[in-house]
Amino acid sequence: MTELDGANAHSWNNRIGALVEHNPACGLRDNTKDHRHVTHKADYDADDRFELFLLDDGQQKIEHKEETRVPNTAIFTFNKEDHTLGNLLSQRLLKYEYIVFAAYKVPHPLFATFELRVSTDGTITPKDAIIKCCRDVVQDLGVLKNSFTTEWLGKKIVSEGEAERIARENNTY
């Protein structure tokens, strides 16, 4: 593998669609002549393609704010997360008897963030309730994964055996 050198070695974004005058990596053509040598992003050239899932500089994954007007209540702002986590946590939390309130909202659809509001009955803090909830879901997913893997192998063996049997029968005739 060759590395691009010198002036061309910097950001890809800057040279998208631009004529590249010299690129030793291409080797085959003399670009100082009339041959075009252009670099494209394979798709549209947005610089902010990561903004849905990469935290901004200095941004926290979770911001934690106590709700002072209501007891045992906190609002958690999850950055660079969406309904995948918001719905999962808020719905799951409702299944614990010590949860008094749990809901989430996406304040604006163009910003990848959601707010989760959790109230408990006081026997557990909202933060610990979320931690407990996450642990239980991770555990459920572990059980699911084990069952899935076992069943997949079983089903695969059965269907491969079936295909072999059919192939054998076809050969007989």
Total count of residues recorded for the chain: 173
Cα(126)–Cα(138) distance, integer angstroms: 18
Alpha-carbon torsion, ordered 82, 54, 139, 134, to 10 deg: -60
| Residues of this chain, 5-64, that bind another protein according to CB under 8 A | 9-10, 12, 17, 20, 23, 25-26, 28-29, 35-43, 49-50, 52-55, 60-62, 64
Least distance to another protein from the beta carbon of 16, Å?
Answer: 8
- What is the CA 161 to chain-centroid distance, rounded? 37
What is the DSSP code (8-state) at residue 164?
A: H
Site for another protein in 57-116 (CB under 8 A): 60-62, 64, 78, 81, 83-85, 87-89, 91-92, 95, 97
Closest CA to 89 of 121, 132, 128, 134: 134
Give CA–CA dist 126/98, Å, rounded. Answer: 10
Nearer to another protein, 121 or 140 (CB): 140
DSSP class of residue 16 equals B
Smallest gap from Cβ 74 to another protein, in A, equals 11
Cβ proximity to another protein: between 40 and 165 the closer is 40
Closest approach of another protein to the CB of residue 70, in Å: 20
CB of 4 to another protein, least distance (A): 6
- How many residues of this chain interact with another protein, rule: CB under 8 A? 73
Residue 165 makes contact with another protein by CB under 8 A: no
Q: Which of 66, 105, 122, 135 binds another protein (CB under 8 A)?
A: 135
CB of 90: closest distance to another protein in angstroms?
8
Between the CA of residue 72 and those of 62, 96, 128, what are the distances in Å? 18, 15, 11
